[in-house]
Chain A
Amino acid sequence: MLDQLPILQVIIPLLAAPLCLFLRKPRLVWMFTLIASAACFMISVLLLQQVASQGDILYSIGGWAGPLGIEYHIDELSAFVLLIITAMSTIVLFAANTSIQKEIPENRQVFFYILYLLSLAGMLGIVATGDAFNVFVFLEISSLSAYAMIALGKDRRALWAAFQYLVMGTIGATFILIGIGLMYEMTGTLNMADLAERLPEVADTRTIFAAFAFFIVGVCLKLALFPLHMWLPNAYAFAPSMVTAFLAATATKVAVYLLIRFTYSIFGISFSFTTLPLQEIFVALGLVGIFAASITAIYQTNVKHMLAYSSVAQVGYMIVGYSIGTTVGLMATLLHLFNHALMKGALFVALGAVMYRVGGVQLSSLNGLGRQMPYTMAGIVAGGLSLIGVPLTVGFVSKWYLVQAALETGWWPVAVLVLLGSLLAVIYIWRIVEAAYFKEPAEGATPVKEAPLTFLIPIWILVGANIYFGIDTRFSVDAARAASQSLFGISL
């Protein structure tokens, strides 16, 4: 059984999805989905332990050994990302049943869970697989289900947002496919380990340069790196709250994973950063992204829009850490994957609670909520402080390593800009705080009650995690360090 964990990780949600159709009743389906997701979470915990004790896990599908058969390859990095995805998916699901009562018509609720599971399966597949073409297949599974989930949003603009995402996402996926195709043409293999072995021989060809460029641009579309982020704000803002929470906490993380996997493990860092000028481009784009997106976030009146732009900015931090190109820099990025999932998860679930009670997430609909929904709003404030990077929250830990990595390399200006960027977060978070605590509710608005426990429990689990992992950093830092060092080929 334990040997089968890598495939179970992907197959459970994939098979659970059609089974939902038999259950019919939304509540039952919700329980079933929750159980499936929790099972995935347990598996990812076991996988992480296995990898930590025994090293990489190679799993051949159907017993056909690679490179001919399809291989699943779990190392420290993928185990870490799998854990983030399954944990966030499970916590978000806690609140999902209550949240979608008000946001998705009853006859479509079952579809929501099916899509959710498919999307989860797709993301887990991307991370677990050791086969480049498989990546594309799972990418399509997760993306197509994500488009459909976004389109379930109550607001009619959700359709437009989903369509926008569909077009951009498809372009991205096609680019990735072209990239993979060109690699296959030059090396004759799709197995990642094989690719890594054979690419250096042909590295100096125009085809490989093109493959690299196509792949990187495609992935950047998926991870919403500035200026390829245009699809993200609307998609997040108009999707049902739980979809936003789920995607914000996981989807971009998977794209960052892909970027790291291909550049570090397959193309190799010297090819990516030295032969091709990825480093300079990414540092510049990351920094511009941090500022442009944060400044845009300040001017938003829809809080989901605001946090969506903030996500674009946070991707900027991850990319900056990634492109510093040292173990500490990569570690900062990986830590931020984990930490950002916790912050944004907490914030978006809390916004879901606001949506549930108030029916809107305009800044003005938050007026006076500090008194009416004290626990939810306190959760938003705590999540916001973490986003800013106040000490004793996870945000501080990421920033500490990111700045340290920049200073270590002698990039003073980058360190300063990173810290200045977090000040912009103070401004937009404080707009929320002022609305919630200083403004009176609009005349004639009916007072609302505190959110139900199905919201408060996941919100406070996530807020607690934001604080816990900001104080006891052993787990996240060790996992990120192990993953980062293994990518740099430093044996422990």
Chain B
Amino acid sequence: MTFTSETLLILSMVLPLFATLGIAAFGKFPNLREAFTLATSAVVLGLIITLYQRLMSGEAISLHLWELLPGLDISFTVEPLGMIFALVASFLWPITTIYAIGYMRGHEEENQTRFYICFAIAISSVMGIAFADNLFTLFVFYETLTLSTYPLVTHAGTEKAKKGGRIYLGILISTSIAFFLLAIIGTYMVAGTLDFTPGGVFDPSVNKTVAGTLLVLFIFGISKAAIMPFHRWLPAAMVAPTPVSALLHAVAVVKAGVFTVLKVCTFIFGIDLLAVLPSTQFLLYLAGATVLLASLVAMRQDNLKARLAYSTVSQLGYVTIGALLASPYGVLGGSMHIVMHAFGKITLFFCAGAILVATHKSLISEMRGIGRQMPITMAAFFIASLSIIGVPPTGGTWSKWFLLMGTMETAQWVIMVILMISSLLNIAYLLPIPYRAFFPGKSDSNLQSGMKEAPTASVIALSITAVGCLVLFVYPQPLFELASSILETSEIVHGN
């Protein structure tokens, strides 16, 4: 039996939603419930891979569902940039599920059924964002993603979780309504359409001040991309259980943000218009400042998850820079960085969670010598750190390479220097952790002797993603082709 591509597209969004019913029904039987989640995630991954093959074979896949208001459609299309995002999210979902099984049980978390349900809804929203054919559809799923992840952030139900949840929801909803929605309506008024169009929707003769203002509104409004000063929600969201932080706050939510930024820059403004807008330069420096400042803040965090959170803020800035460089290499590097950072950061979070489950430690200063007890975890941590820093033999090398080429291509020397310095800062705040874990220097009395590796399920998951970082270095070809075809779709139109 073969399905049409449109059916596959719909299924990839609807299946996770239907899965929630099954998860709820099996709530009382953890094994069945988790098997069900795992099976669904595997099927969704299969769907996305099939879609990927069909996309690469040149098939145009799009789907128009219905018209909400005149000019506001819910419609979807499969294009390379969205495919990258969908592939990453759907690949990491089953792995995170495996990890979560080990973590949630090992940590004896409550309300696990609610956890798996919200998780599935969030994944469904991610698929909606990835395949959205216009800004409005994207916005709808952007908001669903915020709302469905709120219960995950506040999972613990403690005062601290509630406070974190408030900041999380407060910033994400406020900016999305006050700026993002305004920018969308503004775009609709100026351009008359919200469809993602290669080369942008604006007329070249558009008023530069208006378009520049809209760009500022977009960048601030898409606060999931965590550009300062609207980044505070990300560290606040770290009160969530580690699997949530891992998939949602290293991959799905934050990547939804930078993905939207990339999408807006290439398909709403178009890189040609972007390059001449008066506000682009300002926003580039703002993103550069975010990269640097967040790295500096990360160095001062002793809580491992908080350090990783600020590191994420900084790395997201890279993608935004890639988008705002308004050059082919920038877009290429930015979109590849979505993938590279996802693999690296999810591994780091997995490790942080594994350490927490096995040793109940969350402070870096307590982790001296931990490598002896948890060699696999800390080795994975080391590989992932290299990928975040961007040195061979890890995937992060490629994205930073192209981003740097983008800065040279556009002669953005200040940004180039910022990227260089930031890489040094990455080394300074990431590498000491595995180093001290393996070479504690003086023997440390902190560690109990009976300590062992994290639950097997978790270790398997983090090994897979760590190996992924290495594979992406050796075999970046498919990703590179996908990412460069984003450019081509834009370029073809530019030629005309």
- Write the chain A residue with the least CB distance to B72: A400
A471 touches B68 (CB 8 A): yes
Residues of A within 8 A of B188 (CB): 404
B173 touches A423 (CB 8 A): yes
A419 touches B182 (CB 8 A): yes
Q: How far is the CA of A434 from the CA of B157 in the complex (A)?
A: 10
Check B140 for interface membership: any CB of A closer than 8 A: yes
Residues of A within 8 A of B174 (CB): 423, 426
Check A403 for interface membership: any CB of B closer than 8 A: yes
Checking A419, A471, A477 against B181 with a beta-carbon cut-off of 8 angstroms, the contacting residue is: A419
Main secondary structure of the interface of A (DSSP, over half): helix
Residues of A within 8 A of B143 (CB): 390-391
Check A150 for interface membership: any CB of B closer than 8 A: no
Checking B66, B157, B177 against A438 with a beta-carbon cut-off of 8 angstroms, the contacting residue is: B157
How far apart are B67's CB and chain A's nearest CB, in angstroms? 9
Q: How far is the CA of A430 from the CA of B154 in the complex (A)?
A: 13
Q: How far is the CA of A295 from the CA of B390 in the complex (A)?
A: 48
Q: How far is the CA of A427 from the CA of B173 in the complex (A)?
A: 11
A404 touches B166 (CB 8 A): no
**A415 and B69 in contact, given A426-B170, A426-B174 (Cβ under 8 angstroms):** no
Checking A415, A438, A471, A477 against B185 with a beta-carbon cut-off of 8 angstroms, the contacting residue is: A415
Q: How far is the CA of A121 from the CA of B182 in the complex (A)?
A: 41
Checking B169, B181, B185 against A430 with a beta-carbon cut-off of 8 angstroms, the contacting residue is: B169
Q: How far is the CA of A390 from the CA of B182 in the complex (A)?
A: 13
- Write the chain B residue with the least CB distance to A418: B182
Q: How far is the CA of A367 from the CA of B157 in the complex (A)?
A: 13
**A403 and B157 in contact, given A419-B177, A426-B169, A473-B69 (Cβ under 8 angstroms):** no
Binary contact readout B153-194 vs A (1 if CB under 8 angstroms, 0 otherwise): 010010000100010011001100110011001101100000
B69 touches A397 (CB 8 A): yes
B177 touches A416 (CB 8 A): no
**A422 and B147 in contact, given A397-B69, A477-B69 (Cβ under 8 angstroms):** no
Check A8 for interface membership: any CB of B closer than 8 A: no
Q: How far is the CA of A422 from the CA of B174 in the complex (A)?
A: 9
Q: How far is the CA of A252 from the CA of B162 in the complex (A)?
A: 36
Check B139 for interface membership: any CB of A closer than 8 A: yes
Binary contact readout A376-393 vs B (1 if CB under 8 angstroms, 0 otherwise): 000000000100111110
Q: How far is the CA of A473 from the CA of B181 in the complex (A)?
A: 19
A392 touches B140 (CB 8 A): yes
Binary contact readout A385-413 vs B (1 if CB under 8 angstroms, 0 otherwise): 10011111000010110011001100000
Binary contact readout B57-68 vs A (1 if CB under 8 angstroms, 0 otherwise): 000000000101
Q: How far is the CA of A423 from the CA of B136 in the complex (A)?
A: 19
Residues of A within 8 A of B178 (CB): 416, 419-420, 423
Residues of B within 8 A of A385 (CB): 147
A391 touches B166 (CB 8 A): no
Q: How far is the CA of A74 from the CA of B69 in the complex (A)?
A: 27
- Write the chain A residue with the least CB distance to B190: A407
**A404 and B173 in contact, given A391-B140, A434-B162, A438-B162 (Cβ under 8 angstroms):** no
How far apart are A60's CB and chain B's nearest CB, in angstroms? 39
Residues of B within 8 A of A434 (CB): 162, 166
**A400 and B147 in contact, given A392-B140, A415-B185, A419-B181 (Cβ under 8 angstroms):** no
**A404 and B189 in contact, given A392-B140, A416-B182, A438-B157 (Cβ under 8 angstroms):** yes
A389 touches B68 (CB 8 A): no
Residues of B within 8 A of A415 (CB): 182, 185
How far apart are B377's CB and chain A's nearest CB, in angstroms? 33
B166 touches A430 (CB 8 A): yes
Q: How far is the CA of A400 from the CA of B72 in the complex (A)?
A: 10
Number of A-B contacts (CB under 8 A): 61
A400 touches B157 (CB 8 A): no
Residues of A within 8 A of B186 (CB): 407
- Write the chain B residue with the least CB distance to A439: B162
Main secondary structure of the interface of B (DSSP, over half): helix
How far apart are A419's CB and chain B's nearest CB, in angstroms? 5
Q: How far is the CA of A385 from the CA of B170 in the complex (A)?
A: 14
Q: How far is the CA of A423 from the CA of B186 in the complex (A)?
A: 19
Q: How far is the CA of A297 from the CA of B186 in the complex (A)?
A: 30
- Write the chain B residue with the least CB distance to A403: B185
- Write the chain B residue with the least CB distance to A423: B174
**A400 and B185 in contact, given A392-B140, A426-B169 (Cβ under 8 angstroms):** yes
Q: How far is the CA of A390 from the CA of B68 in the complex (A)?
A: 14
How far apart are B147's CB and chain A's nearest CB, in angstroms? 7
B147 touches A390 (CB 8 A): yes
Binary contact readout A424-451 vs B (1 if CB under 8 angstroms, 0 otherwise): 0011001000100010000000000000
Q: How far is the CA of A473 from the CA of B139 in the complex (A)?
A: 18
Q: How far is the CA of A2 from the CA of B68 in the complex (A)?
A: 34
**A426 and B69 in contact, given A391-B140, A403-B182, A419-B181 (Cβ under 8 angstroms):** no
Q: How far is the CA of A406 from the CA of B241 in the complex (A)?
A: 43
Q: How far is the CA of A399 from the CA of B185 in the complex (A)?
A: 10
**A473 and B182 in contact, given A392-B140, A426-B170 (Cβ under 8 angstroms):** no
Residues of A within 8 A of B154 (CB): 438
Residues of B within 8 A of A400 (CB): 69, 72, 185
**A422 and B162 in contact, given A404-B189, A430-B169 (Cβ under 8 angstroms):** no
B177 touches A407 (CB 8 A): no
Checking A390, A407, A423, A471 against B189 with a beta-carbon cut-off of 8 angstroms, the contacting residue is: A407
How far apart are A313's CB and chain B's nearest CB, in angstroms? 15
Q: How far is the CA of A438 from the CA of B185 in the complex (A)?
A: 35
How far apart are B94's CB and chain A's nearest CB, in angstroms? 28
Residues of B within 8 A of A420 (CB): 178
Most chain B beta-carbon contacts within 10 A, residue among A400, A422, A473: A400
User: Which chain B residues in 55-88 approach chain A with CB under 8 Å?
Assistant: 66, 68-69, 72
Q: How far is the CA of A391 from the CA of B185 in the complex (A)?
A: 13
Residues of B within 8 A of A477 (CB): 69
How far apart are A283's CB and chain B's nearest CB, in angstroms? 18
- Write the chain A residue with the least CB distance to B162: A438
- Write the chain B residue with the least CB distance to A422: B177
- Write the chain B residue with the least CB distance to A477: B69
Residues of A within 8 A of B139 (CB): 391
Q: How far is the CA of A430 from the CA of B177 in the complex (A)?
A: 16
Q: How far is the CA of A471 from the CA of B177 in the complex (A)?
A: 19
Q: How far is the CA of A397 from the CA of B189 in the complex (A)?
A: 16
Q: How far is the CA of A472 from the CA of B147 in the complex (A)?
A: 22
How far apart are B260's CB and chain A's nearest CB, in angstroms? 15
Q: How far is the CA of A391 from the CA of B196 in the complex (A)?
A: 19
A426 touches B182 (CB 8 A): no
Q: How far is the CA of A388 from the CA of B177 in the complex (A)?
A: 9
* Complex A-B, nearest 6 residue pairs according to Cβ-Cβ distance, in ascending order: A391-B140, A423-B174, A419-B178, A403-B185, A407-B189, A438-B162
17 sampled A-B residue pairs with Cβ under 8 A: A385-B147, A388-B173, A388-B177, A390-B147, A400-B69, A400-B185, A403-B181, A404-B185, A407-B185, A407-B186, A407-B189, A423-B178, A426-B169, A426-B174, A438-B162, A472-B68, A473-B69
User: Which residues of B are in contact with A by a Cβ distance under 8 Å?
Assistant: 66, 68-69, 72, 136, 139-140, 143, 147, 154, 157, 162, 166, 169-170, 173-174, 177-178, 181-182, 185-186, 188-189
**With A397-B69, A400-B72, A426-B174 given, can you name 12 additional A-B contacts, CB distance below 8 Å?**
A390-B147, A391-B143, A404-B185, A407-B189, A416-B178, A416-B182, A419-B182, A420-B178, A423-B173, A426-B173, A430-B166, A438-B154
